[in-house]
Amino acid sequence: MPLPAALLCLVVAISDGDTLTARCGAPGRYEQVKVRIAAIDAPERKQAFGQKARQHLAQMCFKRQASLQPIEEDSYGRTVANVRCGGTDVATAQVAAGLAWVYTPYAEHHPHLPPLQRKARAQGEGLWAQKRPLAPWDYRHRHQKPYGNS
């Protein structure tokens, strides 16, 4: 199924620092869309700075209009998109605040992000204030539940 060009939506939920739910479409025909923000990976909720990342995203987007530019669907069925809330590019804001890592495998179309991450890191912004910040992909790997256990 081809992805639409750009969607104007209302953000109705914030899951964490890089995932939100938006209500898109015409009145009476709304569709809820789970959106993963392109090119970034924010700390998990239970990880250091996870709640701060979520709160920062909520301050920018919750109950606000968002412009979504879908890129693809991820393995969890979420729409991966570039997201702007109130004219602010959300990935840029999260990285600049030190509340998300640049997710390099998917950041080739976002060349402005790595320099922002280097600046945030050099200034000790957000998660970069920690001695050894743990990337969310490493956190998820360490905290995966083994099969057969609940």
Say if strands 65-73 and 79-85 run parallel, antiparallel, or are unpaired.
antiparallel
State the CATH number of the domain containing residue 115. Answer: 2.40.50.90
**Mean pLDDT, residues 97-101:** 98
Q: Which of 29, 31, 64, 78 is catalytic?
A: 78
**pLDDT tens sequence across 24-81:** 988 888 899 999 999 999 999 999 999 999 999 999 999 999 999 999 999 999 999 9
Q: Which of 23, 44, 72, 118 is catalytic?
A: 44
**pLDDT tens sequence across 119-149:** 999 999 999 999 999 999 999 999 876 654 4
Q: Which of 36, 54, 72, 121 is catalytic?
A: 36
In a domain, 131, yes or no: yes
Tell me what pLDDT residue 4 has. 56
In a domain, 34, yes or no: yes
Tell me what pLDDT residue 148 has. 46
What are the distances in angstroms from CA 99 to CA 23, 54, 146? 25, 9, 28
Q: Any residues with CB less than 8 A from the CB of 107 and at least 6 apart, and which?
A: 39, 113, 114
pTM listed for this prediction: 0.91
In a domain, 1, yes or no: no
In a domain, 84, yes or no: yes
Look at 9-18, 39-48, 101-110, 121-130 and tell me which has the smallest mean pLDDT.
101-110
Domain extent, residue 135, equals: 7-142
**Rounded CA separation 105/121 (Å):** 19
78 carries an active-site annotation:
yes
Structural domain total, the chain:
1
3-state SS assignment for residue 47: coil
